[in-house]
Amino acid sequence: MTSNAEKAPGSSTPSSRRPWLIWAVGLTLLFLAACVYLFVIYGLPLLGEIIERLESMGVRII
């Protein structure tokens, strides 16, 4: 009974569940950062080229 009284109730379960949650959040943020990076590198120039082609065809873009 003294071993149960020394531990705070529920203190062992959050610490055992936390590492996979940190990994999941970290990998999700890394994936989102990679998507933003790829969009900036490849998507914006492609979008600019599409807009230029549309404007040359007479489409008005704000």
How many residues in the chain? 62
- What's the pLDDT score for residue 21? 92
Find out whether 55 and 61 touch, Cβ atoms under 8 Å: yes
- 42's tokens: 């490849």
Q: What is the pLDDT of residues 24-62, one digit of tens each?
A: 999 999 999 999 999 999 999 999 999 999 999 988 877
Q: What value, to the nearest 5°, has the Cα angle with vertex 21 and ends 20 and 26?
A: 100
pTM (2 d.p.): 0.56
